[in-house]
Structure 1
Amino acid sequence: MIYLIGKPVAGILEGLTHWLQTMGTANAVLLGAILGGMMCTDMGGPVNKAAYAFGVGLLSTQTYAPMAAIMAAGMVPPLALGLATLVARRKFDKAQQEGGKAALVLGLCFITEGAIPFAARDPMRVLPCCIVGGALTGAISMWVGAKLMAPHGGLFVLLIPGAITPVLGYLLAIVAGTLVAGLAYAFLKRPEAEVIAKAA
């Protein structure tokens, strides 16, 4: 079973990685947008992992900009959905509001999977919002020339001197993508049945 499933998945990952590598860095902003969007496409799935593996692989060649775009974009979905539960609080039931608080913490730690409960419940709205926000974050990160020397850690990497440069540009990228995705979903989100029933 592992052989039957593992081979096709490995082939897909290899193909995606090759595709990213052949793009080069001539258009850094476009590359950042693509990597950022990939990080938010399946939130921990094969596409997400292909982008992440690409960034980690480049660290060994002292190429640090893609990793910055990748980690910044990977923080966007949980941060954005946590923001949405605060902005449009009345549209979410109690469990989702609590889930939003947890998502904010997970987002700060670069754990994209914190957004999965929201994506599983409302994929047609959550995924497009997150992909657009992640792509924007990745593009801005590459545009400001952000570089990240660590493969993980979220915003806590800021505690390591020189791990992220420039810090303000990097934070701007994360905030911009989070605001776009979070506010978009807060607008598009339909109130939960439980919330509607209480209001009736």
Structure 2
Amino acid sequence: MKELMKNTRQHLMTGVSYMIPFVVAGGVLLALSVLLSGSAAVPAEGSALRDLFNIGAAGLGLMVPILAGFIAFSMADRPGIAPGAIGGYLANQIGAGFLGGIVAGILAGIVVYYLKKIKVPSIMRSVMPIFVIPLIGTLVVGGLVVWVIGAPIASVMTGMKAWLEGLGTSNLIILGIVLGAMIAFDMGGPINKVAYGFGAAMVGTIDPATGMASPIALKIMAAIGVAICTPPIGMGVATLLAPKKYTSEEKEAGKAGILMGLIGITEGAIPFAAADPIRVIPSIIVGSAAGSVTAMILGAGNPAPWGGWIVLPVATGKFGYMIATLVGVAVTALMVNILKKPVKDEVVNADAGNNDDEIELDFE
């Protein structure tokens, strides 16, 4: 186990390297659909832009399963891909987000690694890597995700929502810090969704006297809108400021992340957080919290349940909204680059590992 886990960073980087094309393709297509629709919302049902949105959403939907599957692949070779990917899909479905996907991938890698150690008769060796190990591994990992991880996550999310609602709006600065941190923590995961749902519900509550959302609700949604775009833009800017601290794949993901952030897609920062969570997650949390608080102080308002700069046409206090975003981006980029060290840009070998598990099928 010690030998297997000492290369955890390498396993994470392998998963990230396979995940990045899904993030870039899916995220950029989704962002373009929202941008071309001309409004900070999902395009109308039945339109070509909605179809484009769905194509992009499919790419982002595969992001977590691919991450988990190839983390397991790095740990246990090809037999780990199916248990890891299915475990990652289930983790995403129950609301565990990319952090749940990482856990599922590591679990799958460990389970399959030890299944491969089981001694079997020679007649069984050819079917173990393509039938027995994926089957048992998927059952074990899927069962752990659904029956063990799922219930605690659901109860934590319920409690967190109640706590957030209990904070009220009496101290907007504290609320801004909390919302910004929650939005950034798991970048589209369950904690992010709780904070976003809180803001969207506030904006959706109409004041009978004015027929509009209250000014406080607009401020809360502005703080959330800034926090949504800060992580991907901040990490993209960080790759430009200190390119030697990022791999070539991360630098490409950074360019896409800036576009995704401007359109309000926080998931653009996930490749960086998955590869180096210890340094990246605290940096984006602090940056998003700083941006959110700045938006509160400057009095920006956002009537659209969306984030990024795509909401600027309908936002109030546009200058404050932009300044708040730049503050959050600057804090994120500077903090993460201070924490990070230069990296050796290595190409992940997709065929690395033990090839004894491969079976060749001849159909001649």
Query: Normalised by the size of structure 2, how large is the TM-score?
Result: 0.50
Q: Residue 153 and residue 135 in structure 1: after superposition, are their counterparts in 2 closer, same or farther (change >3 A)?
A: closer
Contact 2:264 2:310 in 1 (8 A): no
Offset from partner CA, 1:94-149 (integer Å, 9 cap, x none): 21111110111111111111000000001100011110001111111111222111
| Partner residue in 2 for 1:176 | 327
| Partner residue in 2 for 1:120 | 274
Secondary structure in 2 aligned to 1:104?
helix
1:33 paired to 2:177:
yes
Contact 2:199 2:221 in 1 (8 A): yes
Supply the distance in 2 between the matched residues of 1:184 and 1:107 (Cα, whole angstroms): 18
In the TM superposition, residue 65 of structure 1 has moved relative to its aligned partner by 1.5
| Partner residue in 1 for 2:312 | 158
Consecutive unaligned residues in structure 2, runs of 5 or more: 1-89, 95-145, 206-212, 347-364
Offset from partner CA, 1:38-85 (integer Å, 9 cap, x none): 111111111111000100111122222211111111111101100010
Supply the distance in 2 between the matched residues of 1:129 and 1:40 (Cα, whole angstroms): 9
Supply the distance in 2 between the matched residues of 1:103 and 1:81 (Cα, whole angstroms): 7
Q: Residue 34 and residue 153 in structure 1: after superposition, are their counterparts in 2 closer, same or farther (change >3 A)?
A: closer
Supply the distance in 2 between the matched residues of 1:142 and 1:48 (Cα, whole angstroms): 19
Secondary structure in 1 aligned to 2:251?
helix
Larger radius of gyration: 2
Contact 2:245 2:340 in 1 (8 A): yes
Supply the distance in 2 between the matched residues of 1:148 and 1:194 (Cα, whole angstroms): 41
Q: Which moved more, 1:166-175 or 1:148-157?
A: 148-157
Task: State which of 196, 204, 218 in structure 2 corresponds to 1:60.
Answer: 204
Supply the distance in 2 between the matched residues of 1:164 and 1:104 (Cα, whole angstroms): 20
In the TM superposition, residue 11 of structure 1 has moved relative to its aligned partner by 3.3
Supply the distance in 2 between the matched residues of 1:8 and 1:52 (Cα, whole angstroms): 21
Letter in 2 for 1:76: T
| Partner residue in 2 for 1:140 | 294
Supply the distance in 2 between the matched residues of 1:180 and 1:17 (Cα, whole angstroms): 27
Query: Normalised by the size of structure 1, how large is the TM-score?
Result: 0.89
Supply the distance in 1 between the matched residues of 2:238 and 2:280 (Cα, whole angstroms): 10
Q: How many aligned positions are there?
A: 192
Supply the distance in 2 between the matched residues of 1:132 and 1:111 (Cα, whole angstroms): 18
Q: Residue 58 and residue 7 in structure 1: after superposition, are their counterparts in 2 closer, same or farther (change >3 A)?
A: farther
Task: State which of 154, 158, 164 in structure 2 corresponds to 1:14.
Answer: 158
In the TM superposition, residue 157 of structure 1 has moved relative to its aligned partner by 1.7
Supply the distance in 2 between the matched residues of 1:77 and 1:152 (Cα, whole angstroms): 15
Q: Which moved more, 1:5-14 or 1:150-159?
A: 5-14
| Partner residue in 2 for 1:189 | 340
Letter in 1 for 2:277: P
In the TM superposition, residue 8 of structure 1 has moved relative to its aligned partner by 4.6
Kindly report the root-mean-square deviation, in angstroms, between the aligned alpha carbons of the 2 structures: 1.9
1:47 paired to 2:201:
no
Identity of aligned residues (%): 44
In the TM superposition, residue 6 of structure 1 has moved relative to its aligned partner by 6.1
Offset from partner CA, 1:138-181 (integer Å, 9 cap, x none): 1111112221110125211223xxx2110111111110010011
Secondary structure in 1 aligned to 2:288?
helix
Task: State which of 234, 256, 266 in structure 2 corresponds to 1:102.
Answer: 256
Letter in 2 for 1:35: L
Q: Residue 106 and residue 167 in structure 1: after superposition, are their counterparts in 2 closer, same or farther (change >3 A)?
A: same
Structure 1 runs of 4+ aligned residues shifted over 3 Å read 1-11
Supply the distance in 2 between the matched residues of 1:153 and 1:76 (Cα, whole angstroms): 10
Supply the distance in 1 between the matched residues of 2:204 and 2:317 (Cα, whole angstroms): 20
Supply the distance in 1 between the matched residues of 2:302 and 2:158 (Cα, whole angstroms): 24
| Partner residue in 2 for 1:93 | 247
